Amino acid sequence: MDHTPEDLLKRSRAEKNARKRIRLLALSLFLQCKNRTLVAEQLKISRTSVNTWVSNYFASGLEGLEARKAKGRTPFLTAQQQKQLGDFITCQSQNEHGGRLTGEKILNYIKAEFGVHYHHNAIYKLLKQLGFSWITSRSRHPKQQQGVQDAYIKLPTGNDP
């Protein structure tokens, strides 16, 4: 932590990340004048931010100025439960008995299996996270015949773009 104000100013000029650049600049100004309020006014940022950055620097050095990734909300379903749900959706979409797997059915499955309540809109976001879309969750029709479908496939004529 034996950085001079000039060293920190030099680092701030070389820094590509704009947020870290302002932190380094604020720290450089603080080491010059030792007045957090003056630094905040000069950079037009809050004094609280300057206090936090200076405290983090004294506690952890330059690593204390690194941006931390926000944790965000913990998911309602664990990774194991998400895998089980994905397996359920895959199994249902390949079911030979036809029918359609709806968001309501998925919602009921989650509630019954895991005791977790999701809003209807959140089901479709969850599907997207799991790599599904609401369109892909349709099962095969019981009378579907692959040979008949192959016969109707459009063949390229050479004039197609």
Per-residue confidence in pLDDT tens, the chain, 161 aa: 678 889 988 999 999 999 999 999 999 999 998 899 999 999 999 999 999 999 999 998 888 888 877 788 888 999 999 999 999 988 887 776 655 778 888 999 999 999 999 988 888 888 888 988 766 445 566 677 777 777 777 777 767 66
CB 97 within 8 A of CB 85: no
Identity of the amino acid at 28: S
Q: Which residues of 138-159 are buried (b: 16+ CB within 10 A; e: fewer)?
A: ebeeeeeeeeeeeeeeeeeeee
98 — phi, psi (to 5°)?
75, -165
Does the predicted TM-score (pTM) go above 0.85? no
